[in-house]
Amino acid sequence: MLIEKDMNLADVLHHDHNLIPVINRFGIKLGFGDSTIEEICSDLNINLDFFLTITNTYHDPRYFANSHLKSFDVYLLVDYLKQTHKNYLNDRIPYIARLIKQLMEDTTEHKASMKLLENFYKEYVNELTRHIEREEKVVYPYVLKLEKAIDTAVFPDELTHQVKTYSITDYEKEHENVEEKLFDLKNIIIKYLPPTSNQNLCFSIIHELFILEKDLNEHARIEDTILVPKVESMEYVILNNKN
């Protein structure tokens, strides 16, 4: 399904409920009746092209955002990505940590295995947090600097030097490492954790990890397929302006 501006947003969510946290990051709260996407975006002052690019990319891995690439500013994308990070770090990650803690408290046997699970989760969270911090402290500011230079047509030497030495494609590789660690974490629970008496709680943890994984994969795909090409085209403009 291609998500289009004249569609009823409620129908879209019935079709793909995974989009609920995504629209929430745009500031859209549930309770919008039969409004279309265009009406909601206009009411809340959301860039319509940007909204369609993100929701379509998230909804369908085969969707290619090329036609929309030029029609919104990069700072919108950076804002959206930061909102997503906030949702992971402030809501989802602590929620899963609470479930794991509860599992440890409820389980009298296999204490050592439970501790192992908790430690592995902590390591995973550390790795994800480091990745997010690097994006927010290095990658996104670099991207915004490129956009500012192009908007103002001022190209400082220092920025040109940075463009020549920094490669945005290095950053795509990091996503794979974070994804692998989450896969291992799911495997610990599915394959190796000794059977616990509270299987329902184990299902809830694993279910949350699958939801987190899907969301993180889509987030990384948005970074790889929308942010990176945008940056590459801006780098091209800057290098050609100086040469």
Give residues with Cβ within 8 angstroms of 73, minimum separation 6.
147
* Site map 167..206 versus Fe ion, x via CB under 5 A: ----------------------------------------
Question: Whose Cβ is closer to Fe ion: residue 135's or residue 218's?
Answer: 135
Q: Does residue 98 sit in helix, strand or coil?
A: helix
Cβ closer to Fe ion: 223 or 235? 223
Nearer Cβ to Fe ion (32/72): 72
x-marked contacts with Fe ion along 130-169 as a string, rule CB under 5 A: -----x----------------------------------
- Phi and psi angles of residue 150, each rounded to the nearest 5 degrees, phi first: -70, -40
Q: What does the alpha-carbon distance between residue 10 and residue 1 come to, in Å, rounded to a whole number?
A: 14
Q: Mutual orientation of helices 74-87 and 199-222 as an angle, nearest 10°? A: 170
Q: Which is nearer to Fe ion, 75 or 155 (CB)?
A: 75
Stretch that binds Fe ion, among 27-35, 90-98, 112-120, 219-227 (CB under 5 A): 219-227
Which segment (97-105, 155-163, 216-224, 227-235) binds Fe ion by CB under 5 A? Answer: 216-224
* Contact by Cβ (8 Å): 230, 135: no
Of the candidates 164, 153, 166, 165, which has an alpha carbon nearest to the alpha carbon of residue 241?
Answer: 153
- In whole angstroms, the minimum distance from the beta carbon of 209 to Fe ion comes to 18
Window of 12-20, 89-97, 129-137, 185-193 that interacts with Fe ion by CB under 5 A: 129-137
DSSP string, 36-92: BHHHHHHHHT--HHHHHHHHHHHH-TT--GGGGGGGS-HHHHHHHHHHHHHHIIIII
Cα–Cα separations (whole angstroms), residue 66 to 57, 69, 217: 11, 5, 20
Q: Which stretch binds Fe ion (CB under 5 A): 33-41, 45-53, 65-73, 128-136?
A: 128-136
Residues 42-101 that bind Fe ion (CB under 5 A): none
Closest distance of CB 96 from Fe ion, Å:
18
Integer Cα distance of 7 and 53 in angstroms: 15
Residues that bind Fe ion (CB under 5 A): 135, 223
